[in-house]
Amino acid sequence: MSVRRSSVEALLTSQELDREVLVKGWVRTRRGNKYVQFIAVNDGSTINNLQVVADAEKFPEETLKDVTTGSCIAVRGKLVASQGKGQATEVQALEIEVLGKADPETYPLQKKGHSLEFLREIAHLRPRTNTFGAVLRLRHALAFGIHQYFNDRGFFYVHTPIITGSDAEGAGQMFRVTTLPDQNPPLNDAGQVDYSEDFFGKATNLTVSGQLEGELAAMALGQVYTFGPTFRAENSNTARHLAEFWMIEPEMAFYDLQDNMDLAEDFLRYLVRYALEKCPADLQFLNDQYDKELLNRLRFVIDNDFQRLTYTEAVDILKTAKQKFEFPVDWGTDLQSEHERYLVEKHFKKPVILTNYPKDIKAFYMKLDEDGRTVRAMDVLFPGIGEIIGGSQREEDLEKLRGRMQEMHVPEDELWWYLDTRRFGAAPHSGFGLGFERLVLFVTGMTNIRDVIPFPRFPKNAEF
């Protein structure tokens, strides 16, 4: 088989017909009759299969007995215009080699239509299904789109640390990282574990956010972003939470809250447009298979400006809403998912950016408004997802920031380096965090966050 291998995607879209080609991939189905067999081959390059036509005179049934669903084959043949519906080209087989069998008795993906729950149990094989192939190609496209967007706009990608000695941000419970013995660790005089003997000479955890380090970089490089794994040790067994997930956190010197909102909105619309342009076949499949409103919802985000209003205005709307809520709405309390969804899905019927939240329900680093009661926070709320982005203008005034840290019991000595950015050459700046899996959920229309990351981590599960 000395021809050079082509991808299924390349062959399906090729204009050069009647030439000899070589394709390798996995058999999705084989069907036919005693005269001819049709083998659907997929190599991951596209959701579409290449039809290989095997003439029974050349390929009697016994030569094809191992060409079963899931097996891996190499096919040399002639690329021709397809007679059948649904594809422009197909391959008339000249030679078929089975590279790897898949015993029909034991291969778990034998039949179609497995439940998503079942596929979660075999996450090592589920990328071979149409659904997860589509999700993973979209996940790739969105990740690349993110890098492309920032690179084109002069942002620099910074790798903030995963292992951190600080647990000051308070964004959530943390995982401890250690090399101390798991029993009888060294103790100090006070009878506590002596972390000075641990690998890093102090207690360390997995990061919950790269923001604070991102701010350090923004105060030198101007516009930066992170894109890395973050962790939460909350015991949340829901369809919306993961213990390990990826976050994108841009941070920009000289941006105020308005600039920050403009960027977040432009960024999200760019990414949705990018997915529609790069992965039309995958999106069409997910739309048809899971959620007939998916493509409409995506186009809606592109076509409509996001509604911007303050938290205070949102509370007024919610208080006079005809809808009954499970949780009462009062100025000063955090909004619940039901409130956010009412605003987005019922009241405005478009994405919403809420701003200027009460300071007591937001993080210490957010810039105080003039009234001293609210901060320059912004949450972007999406239909079906709720909060997809959370951000703020940062407090750049050293004394105000220290005041907020004292009020919220954030230890200054742990964050001396963070305070230094306000001591030396402080600049107004802003940033936000986008949960990558929330974005992939929205764009794919999947409903469980465990289905949009290859190998999900959640309580009692770290398989594969």
What residues from 224 to 283 belong to the interface with its own copies (CB under 8 A)? Answer: 228-229, 231, 233, 235, 243-244, 246, 253-254
CA distance 12 to 87: 7
**30 neighbors 67 (Cβ within 8 angstroms):** yes
Which residue lies nearer to its own copies by CB, 43 or 340?
43
How far apart, in whole angstroms, are the C-alpha atoms of residue 309 and residue 350?
A: 13
Q: Can residue 188 be called a binding residue for its own copies (CB under 8 A)?
A: no
Residue 77 engages its own copies in binding (rule: CB under 8 A): no
Which residues, 291 to 350, sit near its own copies by CB under 8 A?
A: none
Which x/- pattern over 116-135 shows residues binding its own copies (rule: CB under 8 A)?
--------xx-xx---xx--
Q: Which of 30, 339, 376, 422 binds its own copies (CB under 8 A)?
A: 422
- Residue 96, amino acid: I
Question: What 3-state class would DSSP assign to 459?
Answer: coil
Q: Which of 37, 51, 64, 70 binds its own copies (CB under 8 A)?
A: 70
Which one of the spans 184-192, 285-293, 339-347, 387-395 is the region binding its own copies (CB under 8 A)?
184-192
Cα separation, 273 vs 275, in Å, equals 5
81/220 with CB nearer its own copies: 220
Distance CA 159, CA 460 (A): 29
- What DSSP string describes 18-86? SEEEEEEEEEEEEEE-SSEEEEEEE-SS-SSPEEEEEETTTS-GGGGTT--TT-EEEEEEEEEE-SSSS
Q: Which of 41, 177, 272, 380 binds its own copies (CB under 8 A)?
A: 177
68 neighbors 96 (Cβ within 8 angstroms): no
Smallest gap from residue 444 Cβ to its own copies (A):
14
Given 80, 94, 171, 216, the residue binding its own copies (CB under 8 A): 216
Among the listed residues 156, 285, 290, 300, the single contact to its own copies using CB under 8 A: 156
- Amino acid type, 263: L
Q: Mapping DSSP to helix (H, G, I), strand (E, B) and coil, where does residue 421 land?
A: helix
# binding residues, its own copies (CB under 8 A): 104
- What is the smallest separation between the CB atom of 157 and its own copies, expressed in angstroms? 5
CA atoms of 250 and 390, how far apart (whole Å):
11
Backbone angles phi, psi at 79, to 5 degrees: -80, 120
Residues 363-402 interacting with its own copies (rule: CB under 8 A) = 396
Query: How many other CB atoms are found less than 10 A from the CB of residue 168?
Result: 18
Q: CA 197 from chain center: how many Å? A: 37
Rounded CA separation 432/416 (Å): 22
452 touches 446 (CB < 8 A): yes
- For its own copies, the binding residue among 2, 15, 33, 192 (CB under 8 A) is 192
Closest approach of its own copies to the CB of residue 206, in Å: 7
Q: In 3D, which of 142, 89, 208 has the Cα closest to residue 453?
A: 142
Residue 217 in the binding site for its own copies (CB under 8 A): yes
Give the N- to C-terminal CA distance of the chain in Å, as an integer. 35
Q: Which of the ranges 54-62, 140-148, 324-332, 337-345 carries the binding residues for its own copies, by CB under 8 A? A: 140-148
Only one of the segments 55-63, 261-269, 357-365, 416-424 lies at the binding site for its own copies (rule: CB under 8 A); that segment is 416-424
Among 14, 32, 44, 312, binds its own copies (CB under 8 A): 44
Give 305's DSSP letter.
P
Indicate the residue among 192 and 320 with the shorter CB distance to its own copies: 192
Residue from 12, 93, 136, 286 binding its own copies (CB under 8 A): 136
Query: Does 78 participate in binding its own copies (rule CB under 8 A)?
Result: no
Of residues 43 and 265, the one with the C-beta less far from its own copies: 43
**Cβ atoms 200, 243 nearer than 8 A:** no
Return the residues of window 424-453 that contact its own copies according to CB under 8 A.
Answer: 424-428, 453
**Residue 223 makes contact with its own copies by CB under 8 A:** yes
The region of 213-221, 283-291, 306-314, 342-350 touching its own copies under the rule CB under 8 A is 213-221
- Total residue length of the chain: 464
Q: Which of 19, 202, 319, 349 binds its own copies (CB under 8 A)?
A: 202
